[in-house]
Amino acid sequence: MSGRSHAGAGFRTLRLWLAKARQGTPPVKSFRLYLQAPIATPKRFVTDYSPAELSRLREMFKPQAHRHRNWSRTGYIVIGIAFAFMLLGFVLQNISLHWTQRVILGGFLACWITLMIIAFLFPVPWCPGCHNRIDRGFGAFCPECGARSLERGSWCRAPHCSSCGRAMGRGKSRGYSIHACTHCGVKLDDAGL
Ligand SMILES: [Zn+2]
Ligand SMILES: [Zn+2]
């Protein structure tokens, strides 16, 4: 009984603490609060550039976007081949030809090593306006729509844009595309990376 009440009290404390943590993270009004040490403070923002300068920055970004897409495509092809080897291994598992198993295992391992190399050398584009990596943290601008309305997240909630409503997940399946630089707001790529 007392164990139960202890658990209940612990749970209430945790809920109160979570509610407090949520209240304690107001929407950030200035991009400066977002910046961590490795992120360079942009000298200029999207509104400080002329249309000609903005289009020049987009042109400068094009080769990086192209390279990023090529590497992504290659990665997906290698993953496809690795799956094909796995499938082949599954289909041929009862065939006792020694060389077949070796070829399948060798092929699968080669794909795995190639994927590790791709992951290690994967070129992450940087913004030609503020020179920050486009995936390094979050600034005041929404990478998806480019509006200056990105609200800071907390440890249990991803940052989200009050303009387009998109939540900024992390990792490979981040759930949003990068069209604009989150730090300076310059629109970089129409299709999104
Ligand atoms: Zn930038
Ligand atoms: Zn947005």
Ligand nearest to the backbone CA of 161: 2
Q: Is 160 exposed, middle or buried (0-12, 13-18, 19+ CB in 10 A)?
A: buried
Ligand nearest to the backbone CA of 31: 1
Q: Give 135-170 pLDDT, tens digit per residue.
A: 888 999 999 999 999 998 887 888 999 999 998 887
- Ligand 1 centroid–CA 42 distance in Å is 7
- Ligand 1 centroid–CA 46 distance in Å is 8
User: Residue 57 has what pLDDT?
Assistant: 97
- Ligand 1 centroid–CA 183 distance in Å is 5
Better pLDDT: 100 or 44: 44
Average pLDDT, the chain: 81
Q: What angle do CA 181, 26, 149 make, to 5 degrees?
A: 30
User: Residue 137 has what pLDDT?
Assistant: 86
Is 70 exceeded by the pLDDT of residue 43? yes
